[in-house]
Structure 1
Amino acid sequence: MSARDAILKRLRERADGPLTPPECDFAVVTNRGWSPEERLERFERWITSVHGEVIHVATHDWTTALVDVLTAKGVQRLALGREHPVAAEARRALVDAEVELVDVDRDIEAWKREQFERVDAGLTSTLGGIAETGSLWLWPTPDEPRLISLVPPIHIAVLDADTLEDTFFDVVERHGWAGGMPTNALLISGPSKTADIEQTLAYGVHGPRELVVLVRHAGTAAGGEA
């Protein structure tokens, strides 16, 4: 009998009966009790601390802010989907703008070089945000593949303020990940960053150098006019 088998045999033949797993107490990772205003303040504080940019907009007029961002950052080619309401609204708002809209629902091998070399920004929706860490969470789809948030120099993400959760645990619980975990979930907490051997922090080396979050509020934008 091998040592491994001997250990397993002793465990199976415990004199005091089989081991029972302890009850799980997840209180440490949930139950923050933050108000919607506190969630938003924490989310913005953390994501801007790592060079994320947050712009508050009214839901009914968010595309005006999108146009302003594209103009201010000199975006000439924007990659986006077609079917999601965020992409559909953006396309309508940009129909007369001097911005080329790049379709992303294509085989990556057919436009890989174009995506890496000629796209200035990618626009995506989000499914929510996490206040505790200042993170966005996305489930990529064929209409919004993961590369449009990971490759272009600028990632513009649209977040509805009422989809913010306190913690990552709350996201997993509320959206039933245990029964239907996504095949590819993205957690984004700022633009791409890395540090070399001298510990010099650099942004945009392995992905977007800028992250712009358009936080949509029903009615009026926080701190702004309708």
Structure 2
Amino acid sequence: MSRPSARTQIFSRLYKNAGMIAPYTPEAPAWTPPALTPAKRVARFVELMEAVRSEVYRVKGDAWVDALRKLMRTRELATLAYGKGTWCGDLLEKSWKEKPHPTDLIPWTRDVEEFRDELFGINAGITTTMGGIAEAAALILWPTPEEPRLLSLVPPVHIALVKAKEIVTSFPEAIKKLDWANKAPTNSLLISGPSKTADIELILQFGVHGPTDLIVFVIE
């Protein structure tokens, strides 16, 4: 009988002793999401959003429409794309009809392929949200046929509307509140500030691959 090779003997000893030593498992302390009051959630959300160069405005009810009109005029933004048939779009159409404004409203009413070329020439896009996450400074978007994801990703200025009562403390809380265990979206977005990357020599750059500006209206 031939003698086993050195390689075979070594592996044999390793396999034999593998089960003799219990693997080391470090103890992890129990973790629970921080609990914040509604007011502190909003304050934290605003603080962290502004820290990543987002513009945040706190408004009451439908006052966001007048605030938006003023902002669009100040920035001289000529076009604003929106989702037709949404509560946001209905209020915009009503306001522009009652008081004409230099900014042209562009409703999303066509197929992506038909609207694509025009969309890349639009100055700003406005979307609703499903809420916000205070500790992550993130907006939760669930794209729909009325508000496709390109509406928030293509125009250089993204304007988002988030209701204060829909801002939660943490991501686990958002998953539970939105019941994503049973009805998870097929294409959800978490947006935390203008587009940014640190791939270029590890230096944080803004506006490289998406909107250069994120404007958030927190509706209370």
TM-score normalised by the shorter chain: which range applies? 0.7 to 0.9
Q: Could you list the runs of 5+ residues in structure 1 that have no partner in the other structure? A: 1-24, 218-226
- The number of residue pairs the alignment matches comes to 191
Report matched runs for 1:81-96 at 5 Å. Answer: 81-95=83-97, 96=100
TM (norm. structure 1) is 0.80
Matches within 5 A, 1:111-130: 111-116=115-120, 118-130=121-133
RMSD: 1.7
Whichever residue aligns with residue 198 of structure 1, its letter is: E
Output the CA distance in 2 between the equivalents of 1:190 and 1:74. Answer: 22
For the structure 1 residues 165 and 119, does the alpha-carbon distance in structure 2 shift closer, same or farther, using more than 3 Å as the test?
same
The match for 2:110 is 106
Counterpart of 2:192? 189
**8 Å CA contact retained: 2:128, 2:160:** yes
Question: Percent identity at matched positions?
Answer: 40
Residues of 2 paired with 1:166 and 1:174: CA distance?
Answer: 11
Give the Cα separation in 2 of the matches to 1:27 and 1:99. Answer: 52
Give how far 1:207 is off.
0.5
Shift of 1:112: 1.3
State the one-letter code of the partner of 1:89.
Answer: L
Instruction: Give the alignment partner of residue 171 of structure 1, picking from 171, 174, 179.
Output: 174
TM-score when scaled to structure 2?
Answer: 0.82
Q: Distance in 1 between matches of 2:71 and 2:29?
A: 41
Cα displacement (A) at 1:92: 1.5
Greater Rg over alpha carbons, structure: 2
Correspondent of 1:56 among 55, 58, 76? 58
Task: Give the drift of 1:27.
Answer: 6.1
Q: Aligned ranges for residues 1-226 of structure 1 at < 5 Å?
A: 28-30=31-33, 32-95=34-97, 96-116=100-120, 118-217=121-220
Looking at structure 1, the residues matched to 29 and 158 of structure 2 have their Cα atoms a distance apart, in angstroms, of 33
